[in-house]
Structure formats: structure tokens, C-alpha cells
Amino acid sequence: MKVLVVDDNEQNLYMLQALLEGNGYRVETAANGAEALEKARRDPPALIITDILMPVMDGFSLCREWQQDERLKEIPFVFYTATYTDPKDEAFALSLGAERFIVKPQEPDVFVGIVRQVIEEAEEGRLRAPGRPVEEELVYLKAYSERLVKKLEDKMLQLERANRRLAALYRASAELSSLRPLDEMIPRVLRAVVEAMAFVNGIYYTYDEAGQTFHLWEAIGFPPQMLDDFRHRLVFDLGEERGLVGLVGQARQPLIVADTQRDPRWAVIDGTVRSALFVPVIHRKRLLGVVSFLSGAAGDFDDADVDNAAILTNNLSIAIENARLVEELRQSEAKFRALAETAPAAIFIYQDTGFRYVNPAGEALTGYSAGELLAMNFWDVVHPDFRDVVKTRGLARQKGEPLPPRYEFKIVTKSGEERWLDFTAGRIEFEGQPAAIGTAYDITERKRAQEEVYRLGQFRESVIENANVWLDVLDEQANVVIWNKAAEEISGYTRGEVVGHGQIWEWLYPEETYRREIVAKAAAIIEQGEVVEDFETTIRRKDGEQRVISWYSQNLVDEQGKLAGSVALGRDVTKRKQAEEELRKHRDRLEELVAERTVELRKMVNLMAGREVRMAELKEVIRKLRAQLEEAGLEPVADDPLLEGAA
């Protein structure tokens, strides 16, 4: 009994074909609706199973055409989809005449049971929708358009949500760029982060290095009367598992709690919290605290949330450090100087056109002494390419004009060396007059590293192309996307022949049973995340020659952690295998020769042992004869070697 399976995904086709053939059905496949119609009209199946979202002709259009064909409309039609899952999608599909609407994925036994039931109902004439009349064209087009529009609306909603999140992230970053006291900045930042991520609550725990403890600093999304209780209860030691804050601080790695009710380490805040995300706040390898975001739904956090939160907490760490410096500056000039004199960042205060204060780090960074700098315009140390920008912004900032607080530029040191700075500035009052304070970090090495990364990227492309090992990259549908020179030379197939499809595996493995074994292994890599090492296969080159290839393969994932395909490295080990075979033969022959020589040696040893025994017996006889001669008064022959040996 033949079943026609329609899907544009080769892997899906293979899996369904294997499943159905394993249960006794004959399977024919098609990659889209148009191809399915052509095959069905040529040789009608007993059942058709089709996806919906396909190129050329989708599943809805195929069902429409199917029901209009007098030869095909009595054949049961089944949808199997993972894209159209709305109840209205199912209703529309059934209105077109489909017998079943199955949502992916289904357990194999359940899926086969549905197929068997539909075929039995068709044979017994019990189909729920045999030859259902096709609706008027305008009615069909209206419903069809509604489903397509619904999909477009869903995509638009996803894009709008992403845009809102990006806008909120931008607002949160803007909050971080403002120089405010910590007790004002942290609540504003937490609120911005909670809105950006669409979380319910946000908490910041500050880290006390001396006591190695975490204390709740601020919490957003809770009633004010709860905060005093939280500050009393939510205190954690570094490394403490309870509450997970100390554990995250010690590990310095983000942590997701998918379900707080199932994690015994969770410190109950209130009964509404079901999942949480913890992210350490670190500035220049120094632990500042831990941020925690909470949700009322289990499993509400994923890797994308971790990435977004990590970016924000990185900015938060810089903002906290900057705010700490500014706060201390405002408290007293003496305390500011005590801090500034030991700060790792270069700190400048400039007023009008000149420097008014430069800390030792600023002297070390520029190479000029504080006295030399105080006699200069603040833009004199700036590289000519950036001098006008720095001068204009420096003067405008003192006037209170809105400007970016942070930017990068180059300076020229006293020795003539060019250095890159990450510069953050803000308007202050100095000795009763408007001025500006700036902090600068030397990011020259980071800039060089970025340039090196770029060069390495180009180098990597060159290495891939010129590597002496076979390298190919497949997408999630097992189509070839990268095929280097070594792959061309070993296989005999050019890049132009193989890129963009997956037919190369049929060419390299023309024997179907062997090919299925290899394809199953490749499927395991993509679907199960399996890593294959030293897996040897025998390919057939384009010229017919056979080669033995040793493979290393593993998955590729995108930035969201989703499977994007696989990469494989192959080494031609044909000569090595031949050499190993020759070595084995030589070793076997050597073992035979050793065995033969051992037998001969044993014979010789036995012969020598017998000779020694006989010589001993002869010597004993000679000794007795000599004694008898002496008793008879006869003198033995002195030069007889036998008599000498018997003496």
C-alpha cells in the first residue's frame, strides 16, 4: 500500500519514509505540492501526508487542487505541520477536505496509529470528509488569505516585540550613561532593565569584599513594606548555595533557575516567583555584586535573556564604578584626591580651556607631569584626527549642552606614542564654576586585539580554504555550504558541483545500505548533538577510485544556541590503511619465521645436552681404567687427551 509524503525538508522526508516503510508501507516522496500532484495523477497513492509551508505550492493549495481532481478527491488527505498550529489553521484545513490535521511532533506509535486508522476508514468508506465539496473560489481565497495574514501578523508582532526590547535596552543604556549617585542610579537602572526584558522583578545585591557577603541594595517590583524584611533576610555569603546569590558571585557566571519550586537551593521571596536569572556584576575582574531578575512563570528565561542581561550588567558595572567615583568626588575634595591618586583610571578635571586636575594615572597615561598638563589646553594631548571633536565637546559640555557622555579617541603621549582612550565625561561644579570631569581607560590593547581578531578572521578564511584536510560545513537540512580545496582534491568533486544541495552523499556513497548508515550517523550529529571522532568511511571518488576517510564532526549552533548545521573534518587515511595492512602481513610472516627458528633451536639444544651426558659417562670409564692400570703397575699414556681429561 503506497503513501505519498510531501515535505520540502529532506530530513523530515527521510524520517517519515523510514517510519512508514518500517511499518510495512510503500512510500513515495515529493518536495512540494506541485510535484506531489504530478506524481499522484500519474500513480495515485492510498493516502497523502503533507506539510503546509512549502515552496512552489503549499499544503493548502495542494489540498484545494486535490479535492478538485476527480481521481484524487476520494483519497484521504492528511496535514502534518509544525508551523500552522492555530485552531483556526486546523479548521481551515479541514474545511478544504482534509481528513486529519496532525501537529508536529508526534510519537512514532501515535503517528503510525493515525495513519493506519485513516486508511482503514477509507477502505471501509467511513471517512469523515470523503469528497467534501470545494468551497467557492472567493470564499477559499478569503480564508486562505486570512491564514497567511495571520502568519504575517505573528511575524510582525515578533518584530515589534524585538523592536520594543531594543528600544528599552537603549533607554536602559542611556540611564547607565548618566552620572548619578548610586542610590538614585541603581533603582532607575533596575527599572529600565525589568522593562527592557519584560521581567516582573529586579534585585541588586551589592558585594562587601571585606566581609565576603552580599546584601540587598535595591529591589524593583515589590511593595515598599517588603523591602525592610528582604534586607534583613536576603544576606548571603560568598559561595553559599542557599539563595544562589553567593554561588553565582563565586562562580562569576550567569545562572538560570527554570523552576524555583524544584530547586532546593532557592530562598523563597514570595510564592509568586517561579523562575529566576542571576548575573554577576563585574568591573575589571572585580566583583561588584549580583543582579537577579524574577518571573512569575516557570521556564521564562533563556540564553537570549542571559546575553541581554550580561550586556546590561556589564554597562551597569561601568556605571556603578563611575557613579562611585563621582559620589566620592562630591563628598569632599580631600576624599576625591585620596581616591583619585590611587585610581587605575586616568581622571581629569578641565575648566574653560585648560586642565585643573590630573591624577597620577593621567600622568602615566600621557607621559606628561601634572605641572606640564596644567599649563596645556585640554585638547593639546589629543591626536590631530580627533582634536576638533574633543575640543568642541569639552567646551560645550561645560555649558550644559547635551552630549554623548562616553566616546573613544586617540591621544599622542609625550614620547610620541599613540594611545586609544575609552573616555567618559560629565559636567560638574569646580570651585563654584562650571567644569567637566573625565575618566579615561587605556584601551590600546583592546583596539589592537580587535584589529587582530579581524586579521585572524581573514586568516581563518584563508586557512579553511588552504587546509590540507577535507573541511565541509552543512546547514540544518544537510545541504553543503562550505567545500574547501582539500575536499575537492580528495573527492574529485568541485565546489560548484556540491554546494547548495545534499546530493554529494549519494555520489560518495552510491551503495544505498551503506549510505543510509552514514546518513543516519549525520542525522544523529544534527538532531542529538553527537560528536563523531575517528569515524572511518569508504567513499567513491568521482573517478571511481575508493578512498578511506577518517572523520571528526560536530554541531554548529547560532547565537541563540539553536542548531544551525554541522562541520566535518576529513583526513584521507587510505595510504595509512594500506601501510597498516602491509605491516600486519609482515608481522605475521615474522612471527612464522620466529616460530620456525624456535623449533630448530630447541632441537639443537636437545642434541647438545645429549652429547654432554655421553662425554661425562666416557670420562668416568677412563677414570676407572686409569685406576686399574695404576693398580697393575702400568703407566698410563701421558699425552692421551682422553686420559688427561679423566685425570
Domain ranges of the chain: 2-134, 176-329, 333-447, 467-572
What is the three-class DSSP state of 314? helix
Domain 2-134 classification at class level = alpha beta
Same-fold call for 176-329 versus 467-572: yes
Options 3.40.50.620, 3.30.1280.10, 3.30.450.20, 2.30.30.100; which CATH number does 333-447 get?
3.30.450.20
Query: Is the CB of residue 499 less than 8 Å from the CB of residue 481?
Result: yes
CA angle 539-542-544, nearest 5°?
70
Query: Burial, 360: exposed, middle or buried (Cβ in 10 Å; 0-12, 13-18, 19+)?
Result: middle
Query: Is the CB of residue 39 less than 8 Å from the CB of residue 4?
Result: yes
CA 484 to chain centre: 23
CA-to-CA distance for 251 and 480, rounded, in angstroms?
40
Per the prediction, the chain carries an average pLDDT of: 83
Edge-to-edge strands, sheet with 354-358: 354-358, 346-351, 433-442, 418-430, 406-412
pLDDT over 70 (residue 57): yes
Rounded mean pLDDT, 414-422: 94
pLDDT over 70 (residue 461): no
Query: Is the CB of residue 408 less than 8 Å from the CB of residue 393?
Result: no
Q: Are strands 354-358 and 2-6 parallel, antiparallel or unpaired?
A: unpaired
What is the model's pLDDT at position 515?
Answer: 87
Query: Burial, 560: exposed, middle or buried (Cβ in 10 Å; 0-12, 13-18, 19+)?
Result: exposed
The per-residue pLDDT for range 184-208, each reduced to its tens digit, is 788 887 887 777 667 788 899 999 9
CA-to-CA distance for 419 and 607, rounded, in angstroms?
91
Percent pLDDT > 70 in the chain is: 82
The cell for 549 is 576517510
Query: Burial, 275: exposed, middle or buried (Cβ in 10 Å; 0-12, 13-18, 19+)?
Result: buried
What is the model's pLDDT at position 239?
Answer: 92
Q: Does domain 467-572 have CATH number 3.40.50.300?
A: no
572-589 residues labelled b (16+ CB within 10 A) or e (exposed): bbbeeeeeeeeeeeeeee
What is the model's pLDDT at position 388?
Answer: 95
Query: Is the CB of residue 363 less than 8 Å from the CB of residue 371?
Result: no
**C-alpha to C-alpha distances, 442 to 374, 380, 484, nearest whole angstrom:** 20, 18, 41
The helices-and-strands tally (H runs, E runs) of the chain is 21, 21
What is the model's pLDDT at position 172?
Answer: 65
Band the pLDDT of 369: cuts 50, 70, 90: very high
- Of residues 136 and 506, more confidence is placed in 506
- Fold that domain 176-329 belongs to in CATH: Beta-Lactamase (3.30.450)
345: left (phi over 0), alpha (psi -120 to 50) or beta: beta
CA-to-CA distance for 585 and 390, rounded, in angstroms?
79
